[in-house]
Amino acid sequence: MIAELQCVVLDCPDPVRLADFYHSLLGGTVNLPDDRWRVDDDWATLHSPSGLVLAFQRATDHQPPRWPDPSRPQQFHLDLGVPDLDRADEQVRKLGATVLADDVDGRSWRVYADPAGHPFCLVRH
């Protein structure tokens, strides 16, 4: 095992509004303090009663998916927790991941694409 799933992140135009929607649907706590993520105008979280964490990330020019239209596909990414970013980086590259955004300014996460092009983040925990 290289990583641990921390949350599923959905792009949206209004993170708090979408967090409130899923809160009404699933229960839980919106924007529970959590050292893994910042909470601001561009990022909101929902810690569900089942333990699943959903995060909502502002996408400035968000175009909602039109399922099953392939020209407007589903939009999300996974945050995967790792104890050692450098070791996990090496491992996911060997598995075929592509770096989209490397460790910039000492951030605690790095952005990759899986072999099919879907983005995911490795997040130091």
Q: What is the pLDDT of residue 56?
A: 94
In a domain, 117, yes or no: yes
pLDDT band at 108 (very low <50, low <70, confident <90, very high): confident
Q: What is the mean pLDDT of residues 7-16?
A: 93
In a domain, 43, yes or no: yes
In a domain, 61, yes or no: yes
Q: What is the pLDDT of residue 80?
A: 93
Token pair 């000492």 is found at 106
Indicate which CATH number applies to the domain containing 49: 3.10.180.10
Range of the structural domain that residue 12 is part of: 4-65+75-124
- Say how far apart CA 28 and CA 47 lie, in whole Å: 5
Q: What is the pLDDT of residue 75?
A: 79
pLDDT above 90: residue 83: yes
In this predicted model, what pLDDT tens digit does every residue of 30-70 receive, in sequence order?
Answer: 999 998 888 999 999 999 999 999 999 999 998 888 888 88
Contacts of 113 (CB under 8 A, 6+ apart): 97, 98, 100, 119, 120
Q: No. of H helices and E strands in the chain?
A: 2, 8
In a domain, 118, yes or no: yes
User: Total domain count for the chain?
Assistant: 1
pLDDT band at 10 (very low <50, low <70, confident <90, very high): very high
Q: What is the pLDDT of residue 104?
A: 65
Contacts of 17 (CB under 8 A, 6+ apart): none
In a domain, 70, yes or no: no
How far, in whole angstroms, is CA 52 from its chain's centroid?
12
In a domain, 29, yes or no: yes
Q: Is the dihedral of CA 18, 24, 27, 30 positive or negative?
A: positive
> How many other CB atoms are there within 10 angstroms of residue 19's CB atom?
24
Q: What is the pLDDT of residue 103?
A: 64
User: What count of residues does the chain have?
Assistant: 125
In a domain, 28, yes or no: yes
Q: What is the pLDDT of residue 106?
A: 74
